[in-house]
Amino acid sequence: MLEAAKELGAVILKPARNLYGMGLHFAKSRKMAPLVTCVVLCSLFIGGLAEWSRRAVITKASSGISEHATSWGWGSIASISYVAAAVGVVLVCWHWSRLISELTSIARQLQDEQVNYIGPSNSDIINHLCEAVNDRFGKETDCKAQLERQIEDLQIQMQIFEKRGRDTEAIIYSIRDAVIVVDEFDNLLMANEAAGRLFNFDPGNSQHRPVCELISHLRPDSGENQLVDLLQQSRQGKIRNTRREITLSRNDELQTFDCVVSCMYEQKKQVSSVVAVLHDITREKEISQMKNDFVSSVCHELKTPLASITAYSEMLCDGEADDEKTRKEFYAVIQGQAQRLNRLIEDSLNISRIESGLTKVDKKPASLTILIEEQLQMIKNYAAEKNIEVIRDKPIVLDPVNVDRDMISQVIVNLLSNAIKYTPAGGSVRIQTDVDEPSGLVRVNITDTGVGIPDDEIERVFDKFYRVAANKGQAKGTGLGLNLVKQIVEKIHNGRVFATSKVGAGSTFGFELPLATAQMAKV
C-alpha cells in the first residue's frame, strides 16, 4: 500500500519537478523578460477584447435579449487576462530588480582592487557579463605578472650594474697610477687617491670642478698644463688613445710619467668622458739611463786599450819600430793593454752579473781574519817590490762571517792592491779588524800613507769608471775595482763600504760585514 503511494507520488512529482526545472531555466534565461512582456501585452489585449465583448453582450441584454451566461463568460476571460497581466508585470519587475541588485553587487566587487574573479550568477546576461569581465581580469593578471617579471629582471640587472660600477671604482681607487676622468665640459668626474696626491687635491670633494682649476700650474709649459691641454685636445679631436711622456716637478725633483689619454664614447659617437692614466716611469728611465751610461762607459773604456793595441801593432807591421829595444817595448805595451782589456771585461761582467742578480753566491761561515791572512800572503811580494811595509794589527780570532769566500777575498785584494798602488815607495799600508759586538758587525780598515784623494772626489770613488784625476798617472786601473767592492759588500753581503782621505797624507778604505753570530741570533 505504502509502495503504491510512493509510486503514485513519484508519478505526480516527476512532471512537477520537470515543470519547475523548465520554469527555473526560463526564469534564468535572458528571453524571459521580453517573453513575459509579450504575455502581459497579449493578456491586456485579450482582457480588453473580453471586456468589450462583455459590455456588448450587456447592452444587447438591456435591449431585451437575455444573454446573461455569455456576459459572465466574457467577464471571466477579461478577469483572467488581467490577472495574468498583473502576474506578468510582477514577474518582469522581479526580474529587473534582481538584475539591478546583481549589477550593483558586481559594481561593488569591481571597486575592490583585490578582486580578480566575479560570478557566477543565476542570470544568463550577468553570467555573460561576468565571463567578459573575468576574461579581461585574466588578461590583465597575465600582463601584470609579465610586467612584474620584467621589473624583477631589470632590478637584478641594475644591481649587477651597480656592483660592477662599485667594483670598477674600487679597482680605479686601488691602482697606484694616477687616474683622472673628466666629462665633456672638462669637469672632473672621478679621480683616485694617487691622482689626488700627485696634483694635491681632495678627490672626494672635487667632483664637477673644472680640471684646469685642479691641476693647472703657473708655468705655461709645465707638465700639468700639458696634461690639461692633452685632455682637451683628445676630447675635441675625438682621439681614441693618445700617449705622451709628461714631466712634473715634485719636491725639487723631476718625475716622468707615461700618460695615456683615452676618450669614452656614447651613442652617435659623442665623447662622453676622457680618462687619463699617469704611470710613473721615473725609476725605469733612471735605470735605462744608467744601463745606457754603463754600456757607453764600458765601450769607451774598452776602446782606450784597444786604441793602444791597434796603434802599436800597426807601427810594428809598418816597421816603424827601428831597433829591438823599441820593438820589445811595443810588445810589452800591447801585452799590457790586452791584459787591461781582459780585466775590464771581467770586471764589467762581474758587476753586471751582480747588478742583475745573476751571480751565483755561495755563502758559507768563514773567519775574516783567515781570509785577510790569505790575501796578505798573495800580495806580499807586490808590496815588497814597491818597498811598502804592510802592517797587520793584532788579528782578532773570533770574527766569523757568513760570506762567499771568493768574493770577499776579491774585496780584500782589491782594497789592499789599491792601497799599495797609490802609496809611494817607503810608505806603509795598515790593515786592522774591529769586532763591534753590540752592533753585530765586523769592520775592516785599510789605511795607507799614499797620495790621498781630494774631498770633492772622495764621494765618487765607488762609482763605476770613476778614477781620481790627479792620481790617474800613479797606476793603471779600470775604474771598476772599487765599484766591484761596493757591489759585493753592500748588495751581496748587506754590509757597508766607506772611505776617508786627506791629500798628501793617505786614505782609509774599509768595509763592515754583519757577524755570523749576530745573523744567527736574528734568525
Would you say 118 and 131 are in contact if contact means Cβ atoms under 8 Å apart? no
- Residue 227: how many other CB atoms lie within 10 Å: 26
Site string for another protein, 479-518 (x = CB under 8 A): ----------------------------------------
Nearer to another protein, 284 or 320 (CB): 320
Would you say 224 and 216 are in contact if contact means Cβ atoms under 8 Å apart? yes
Among 122, 247, 310, 387, binds another protein (CB under 8 A): 310
Nearer to another protein, 297 or 517 (CB): 297
Nearer to another protein, 250 or 476 (CB): 476
**Region near another protein per CB under 8 A, out of 12-20, 23-31, 86-94, 470-478:** 470-478
Q: Assess 22 for contact with another protein (CB under 8 A).
A: no
Among 152, 153, 266, 320, binds another protein (CB under 8 A): 320
Q: Assess 326 for contact with another protein (CB under 8 A).
A: yes
Q: How far is the CB of 387 from another protein (least distance, A)?
A: 23
Nearer to another protein, 288 or 296 (CB): 296
Nearest-CA neighbor of 420 among 429, 407, 432?
429
Nearer to another protein, 196 or 479 (CB): 479
Residues 186-215 close enough to bind another protein by CB under 8 A: none
| DSSP track, 114-151 | T-------SSHHHHHHHHHHHHHHHHHHHHHHHHHHHH
**Region near another protein per CB under 8 A, out of 43-51, 83-91, 201-209, 469-477:** 469-477
**Region near another protein per CB under 8 A, out of 268-276, 307-315, 353-361, 391-399:** 307-315
Nearer to another protein, 99 or 309 (CB): 309
Q: How far is the CB of 191 from another protein (least distance, A)?
A: 43
DSSP bridge pairs for 502? 506
123 vs 102: CA distance, rounded Å: 9
Would you say 179 and 191 are in contact if contact means Cβ atoms under 8 Å apart? yes
Q: How far is the CB of 455 from another protein (least distance, A)?
A: 16
Among 314, 362, 385, 459, binds another protein (CB under 8 A): 314
Burial class (CB in 10 A: 0-12, 13-18, 19+), 12: exposed
Q: Assess 348 for contact with another protein (CB under 8 A).
A: no
DSSP bridge pairs for 247? 256
519 vs 523: CA distance, rounded Å: 6
Question: CB under 8 Å, gap of 24 or more: what pairs does 22-29 form?
Answer: 27/95, 28/122, 28/123, 28/124, 29/124
Three-state DSSP state, 249? strand
3-state helix, strand, coil in the chain (%, to 5): 60, 20, 20
DSSP H helical ranges for 356-438: 368-385, 405-421
Identify each DSSP E strand in 405-494 by its residue range: 428-436, 441-448
357 vs 427: CA distance, rounded Å: 39
Q: Assess 338 for contact with another protein (CB under 8 A).
A: no
Q: Assess 324 for contact with another protein (CB under 8 A).
A: no
Residue 500, C-beta contacts closer than 8 angstroms, at least 6 positions apart: 458, 507, 508
Q: How far is the CB of 496 from another protein (least distance, A)?
A: 28
Q: Assess 307 for contact with another protein (CB under 8 A).
A: yes
Q: Assess 460 for contact with another protein (CB under 8 A).
A: no
Nearer to another protein, 474 or 500 (CB): 474
Q: How far is the CB of 381 from another protein (least distance, A)?
A: 25
Question: Total residues at the site for another protein (CB under 8 A)?
Answer: 25
Q: How far is the CB of 450 from another protein (least distance, A)?
A: 18
**Region near another protein per CB under 8 A, out of 174-182, 302-310, 385-393, 477-485:** 302-310
Q: Assess 299 for contact with another protein (CB under 8 A).
A: yes
Q: Assess 469 for contact with another protein (CB under 8 A).
A: yes
Q: Residue 296 carries which side chain, given as an amino acid letter? A: S
Q: Assess 315 for contact with another protein (CB under 8 A).
A: yes
Residue 121, C-beta contacts closer than 8 angstroms, at least 6 positions apart: 102, 127, 130
- Residue 313: how many other CB atoms lie within 10 Å: 14
| Residues at the interface with another protein (CB under 8 A) | 296, 299-300, 303-304, 306-312, 314-315, 318, 320-321, 326, 333, 337, 467, 469-470, 472-473
